[in-house]
Amino acid sequence: MTTFLKQFFTWWNGQTLGTRFHTWRHGTRVGTDEFGNVYYEGGKDSEGRTRRWVIYNGYSEASSIPPGWHGWIHHRVDTPPSRENYQPREWQKPHNPNPTGTPNAYRPKGSLLNTGERPRVTGDYDAWTPGN
């Protein structure tokens, strides 16, 4: 599928045509992170703050925003990492992609996809039946 068709028909592959047009008209490029995501700002949001957004490199996955950029895009800090010598704190972990839908996804005890045995039902639960 060509890039034009992807931008026209999908929202999860980077940016749509509407986002491209808005970025072209109002966006000022602020920087790029180590994953190739590009950050912009321009215009005002509903609270009067400068509007900030990201164009993802590949699939639109919010968990792929590094901590420094996360703080900037959510207005926690005024200076983006590209305009300062940002160093992650020692307690900040490196990025780990969202594992939902993969074999590494969290599967709690009792999940049908968990390999362990399902816990026995205790007497503190009464199943619903129609008419009760």
Name residue 9's amino acid.
F
Tell me the pLDDT tens digit for each residue of 81-91: 888 888 778 88
Per-residue pLDDT of the chain (132 residues; tens, 9 = 90+): 556 666 556 555 666 777 777 777 878 899 999 889 999 999 888 888 888 999 888 778 888 888 889 889 999 988 898 888 887 788 888 777 788 888 888 888 777 777 767 667 677 777 788 876
The residue among 69, 10, 8 whose CA lies nearest residue 40 is: 69
Residue 103 structure tokens: 């074999």
CA distance to 12, 19, 21, per residue, from 9 (Å):
10, 13, 15
Domain coordinates in residue numbering, the chain: 3-83
Phi, psi of 39, rounded to the nearest 5 degrees:
-110, 140
